[in-house]
Amino acid sequence: MIIAETRDVTKRFTLRTGLRDWIMRRRIILTALRSVSVTIPDKKIIGLVGESGSGKTTLGRILGGLEPPSEGTVEFMGSALYGDHSSPTGKIQFVFQDPWAAVNPRFTLSQIVEEPLLLLGYKPSERVSLAREALSSVGLPQDEQFLGRHPWELSGGQLQRVIIARAVVSRPALIIADEPASMLDVSLRIGVLNLIMSLRDSYGTSFLFITHDLAQAMYVADYLYVLYLGEIMEEGPTESVLRQPLNPYTLSLVKSIPTIGSKKLEAIRGEVPSPIKLPSGCGFSTRCPIASTVCRTSHPELTKRGEDRKSRCLLQ
């Protein structure tokens, strides 16, 4: 079953500009996403990796119902997400990078976890029992004393678990997790990633796992989309994409991560171009080690490669 799907989603932002631009009637358009189609099936963790400016967070917001696309359609559980039907309240939840910024510091832990249920109109007794169940599913205590604590009494890893408990308490079909473990120390990171996998297995919740860290994606994601300058450069089952990258961009990324034992690595030259001034031709052509003249003039399509993979490159 398909939980959520985008078809050819494009997103443009008009940037607020200075006085001179206003007088000259000049507009600056930032293209965050270009014709992106992703599918999120049930009971799967879908990884979305990319560098800054790749549009990964924007795609998460669009799939989460927070930001309508400029073009294209978004479907959630079979109906249009940005139509005039009722919004799927409680069926999509979020977990963000910074747990401290995601909670009201004056709330107790029970208030934090119960809040989604309050908004959905659950009775107090139901709220209490569901909140306890959610806390137990993320491996936290459920006693009165713990429930009465405030966020500042917890460590970052514990608080991120509370936030995940808040996300699962309304039994959502989809959780958008934007760098949920990136701020945590390595020893705690594994715990949060294991938790995400166990929630997929026990509740059948699907996750959109957004990260810049390929190693985290490798660890949790079932299927992977690699984003660059608002476009999918490559997609496929995570292990095959990261172990045998087809696209030069994915390959360069994989090769720029120091691992134990690596001596001298060749860095990708240059930096990610601005999404305000997209390069003509292939987005990666300005930095690609194998780019030829054709790459700078023609724009490659995302094409099927082999059984279950797709890559966007003219030279393949």
Partner 1 sequence: MSEGDVLLEVRDLCVVYESLDARIRAVDHVDLTLRRGETLALVGESGCGKSTLGNAIIGILPANAEVSGEILFEGVNIVSLPRKRMRRIRWEKIAMVFQNAQNSLDPTLRVGDQLVEVILAHRSIPRVEAQRRVKELFSLVGLPPDYYRSYPHELSGGSRQRVIIAMALLLNPQLLIADEPTTGLDVSVQLQILNLLKDIKQRFQMSMIFITHDIAVANYVSDRMAVMYAGQIVEAAPSQALLAKPLHPYTIALTESLLTLDRRVKKQPIAGFPPDLSKTITGCRFAERCRFAVDECRREEPPMVDVDGRVSKCFFAEQISNKVVGYDYRGD
Residues that bind partner 1 (CB under 8 A): 51-52, 155, 185-191, 194, 212-216, 218-219, 239, 242-243, 252-254, 256-262, 265, 267-269, 271-272, 287
Residue (56 or 166) nearer to partner 1, CB: 56
What span, in angstroms and rounded, lies between the C-alpha atoms of 16 and 28?
A: 8
Residue (256 or 298) nearer to partner 1, CB: 256
Q: How far is the CB of 92 from partner 1 (least distance, A)?
A: 27
- Beta strands in 134-185, from DSSP E residues, in sequence order: 174-178
Helix (H) or strand (E) holding 114: helix 109-119
Q: How far is the CB of 19 from partner 1 (least distance, A)?
A: 17
Residue (81 or 226) nearer to partner 1, CB: 226
Residue (101 or 186) nearer to partner 1, CB: 186
Q: How far is the CB of 256 from partner 1 (least distance, A)?
A: 4
Structure tokens at 311: 């890559």
Q: How far is the CB of 211 from partner 1 (least distance, A)?
A: 11
- Please say whether the beta carbons of 181 and 192 come within 8 A: yes
Q: How far is the CB of 82 from partner 1 (least distance, A)?
A: 31
Sign for the CA dihedral angle at 10, 16, 19, 20 comes to: negative
Residue (89 or 194) nearer to partner 1, CB: 194
Residues 6+ apart with CB under 8 A from 108: 147, 148, 149, 150
Structure tokens at 225: 């989309």
